[in-house]
């Protein structure tokens, strides 16, 4: 009796596991033991990868295999006796490699990304309305207030996340996905009304986090995606975009009168470059350049900055350099930097070309769902490349989302690009 293996099911389950790890890694410790979480995450990526399935186009994942090599090569976390962050990255890379085997799973990816991440939006809004719910959550889970909440006074900024920056990332991912859905479902006005309501709620939640980088890079990504998803009639689209921006600014002005906490994110723009967060980043960037100058070819090894920078006594410094480009130079040298840039640049360019290709095809339900998935993929990739200038998205849990975005494009290119 021959057993039929459903590759799509296994990869979809792996997708859900990876997204849960990306969104709720901090609070998952209160449900599962630490090692159990790591085993589940790695196995979820390894099982679909090991399932037998013949496929030809393996060249598309070669750049990511090279990136994976640099993650493992002289990995300073492993050498220091740790494995927490590296194992999580391994699970994400295995998912990228497994994605080349199937394509059907990408059609449901946007809905799954939204369904898994929307709890962060809801929690942010609920905790803002009722701080008592936040206190109950903290007493039940972390037992201490997260960074950025000012000892729980502004608990909604971090909500379910272990840091308010992470909450900003989670909400931005949902916003980008909702925006891509809104643009792709052109002509489905009834559905778009509900999507618009969800989008407005997500924007308010993002403003409440007071994260200026997420707001700035998120808005920039929304604008770029607006032109990429529907490239026709650019002049008319520009006019509509300007009108929407004016309406948004007017609405935001009234909203800040009733919800002063939203104005906090704009106040932070005025202190950019002089506040503690900015000064700490500048210090870390200077240190990364110095380390790179000492080890320009191969760097000091993955996660080396947090172990060898000498900044471990500074709050937040051990979380990474807060600039993926400088940290890549520092830890993987010029050789590794070129590998990562090649992989990331080629991925987003191919994704854009795939979207443009589908835009010129006869539309049906299947192609619309595929174009939506690729639009979400492009949005997440573009945001990560921008946010990487001030954050650690390829080093922390954000890489789970980036891996999904890359995998969506790889899956389509390997399995469907030539059949449409």
**Residue written as tokens 């493992």?**
72
Joined together, the tokens standing for residue 404 give: 């999904």
Is 365 within a domain?
yes
Over residues 2-53, the pLDDT tens digits come to 556 677 888 888 899 889 888 887 787 777 777 777 778 777 777 777 765 5
Over residues 70-128, the pLDDT tens digits come to 999 999 999 988 888 898 899 899 999 988 878 889 999 999 999 999 999 999 999 99
β-partners of residue 95 are none
Longest CA pairwise span in the chain (Å): 69
Q: Which of 142-151, 227-236, 309-318 tops mean pLDDT?
A: 142-151
Q: Among 90-94, 225-229, 291-295, 315-319, where is mean pLDDT lowest?
A: 315-319
Is 241 within a domain?
yes
Please say whether the dihedral angle defined by the alpha carbons of residues 410, 198, 256 and 163, taken in this order, is positive or negative. Answer: negative
Give percent above pLDDT 70 in the chain. 81
Over residues 168-183, the pLDDT tens digits come to 999 999 999 999 999 8
Residue 345 pLDDT: 97
Is 2 within a domain?
no
Q: What's the number of CA atoms in the CB half-sphere (13 Å) around residue 266?
A: 8
Query: What is the rounded average pLDDT of the residues 330-351?
Result: 97
Q: Which domain holds residue 374?
A: 7-415
Number of domain units in the chain: 1
Determine the Cα–Cα distance for residues 38 and 178; give it in Å rounded to an integer.
Answer: 30
Is 297 within a domain?
yes
For the chain, what's the residue count? Answer: 420
Is 235 within a domain?
yes
pTM (2 d.p.): 0.89
Determine the Cα–Cα distance for residues 218 and 225; give it in Å rounded to an integer.
Answer: 11
Q: Which of 43-57, 163-177, 308-322 tops mean pLDDT?
A: 163-177
Is 281 within a domain?
yes
User: With 80 as the cut, is the pLDDT of residue 307 above it?
Assistant: yes
Residue 40 pLDDT: 81
Is 420 within a domain?
no
Residue 211 pLDDT: 86
Is 1 within a domain?
no
Compute CA distances 374 → 178, 270, 383, whole Å: 13, 36, 14
Compute CA distances 321 → 128, 292, 331, 362, 389, whole Å: 31, 12, 10, 46, 10
Residue 315 pLDDT: 45
């Amino acid at each position: 009796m021959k057993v039929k293996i459903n590759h799509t099911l296994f990869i979809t389950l792996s997708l859900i596991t990876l997204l849960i790890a990306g969104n709720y890694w901090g609070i998952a410790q209160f449900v599962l033991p630490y090692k159990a979480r790591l085993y589940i995450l790695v196995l979820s990526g390894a099982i679909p990868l090991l399932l037998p399935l013949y496929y030809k186009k393996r060249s598309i994942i070669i750049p990511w295999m090279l990136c994976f090599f640099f993650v493992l090569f002289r990995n300073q976390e492993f050498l220091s006796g740790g494995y927490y962050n590296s194992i999580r990255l391994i699970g994400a890379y295995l998912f990228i490699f497994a994605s080349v085997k199937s394509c059907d799973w990408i059609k449901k990816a946007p809905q799954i990304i939204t369904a898994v991440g929307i709890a962060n939006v809801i929690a942010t809004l609920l905790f803002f309305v009722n701080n008592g719910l936040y206190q109950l959550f903290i007493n039940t889970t972390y037992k201490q207030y997260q960074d950025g909440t000012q000892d729980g006074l502004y608990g909604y900024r971090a909500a379910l996340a272990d840091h308010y920056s992470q909450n900003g990332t989670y909400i931005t991912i949902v916003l980008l996905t909702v925006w891509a859905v809104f643009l792709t479902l052109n002509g489905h006005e009834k559905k778009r009304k509900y999507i618009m309501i969800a989008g407005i709620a997500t924007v308010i939640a993002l403003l409440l986090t007071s994260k200026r980088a997420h707001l700035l890079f998120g808005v920039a990504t929304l604008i770029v995606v607006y032109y990429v998803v529907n490239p026709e009639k650019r002049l008319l689209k520009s006019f509509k975009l300007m009108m929407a921006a004016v309406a948004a600014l007017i609405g935001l002005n009234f909203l800040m009168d009733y919800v002063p906490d939203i104005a906090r994110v704009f106040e932070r723009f005025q202190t950019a470059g002089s506040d503690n967060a900015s000064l700490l980043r500048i210090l870390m960037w200077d240190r990364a350049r110095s380390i790179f100058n000492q080890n320009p070819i191969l760097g000091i090894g993955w996660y080396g900055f947090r172990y060898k920078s000498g900044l471990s006594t500074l709050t937040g410094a051990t979380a990474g350099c807060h600039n993926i480009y400088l940290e890549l130079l520092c830890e993987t040298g010029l050789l590794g930097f070129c590998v990562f840039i090649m992989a990331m640049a080629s991925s987003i360019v191919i994704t854009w070309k795939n979207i443009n290709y589908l835009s010129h095809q006869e539309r049906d339900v299947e192609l619309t769902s595929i174009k939506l998935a690729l639009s979400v993929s492009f949005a997440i990739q573009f945001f990560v490349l921008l946010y990487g200038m001030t954050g650690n998205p390829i080093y922390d849990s954000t890489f789970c989302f980036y891996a999904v975005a890359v995998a969506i494009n790889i899956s389509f290119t390997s399995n469907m690009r030539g059949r449409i």
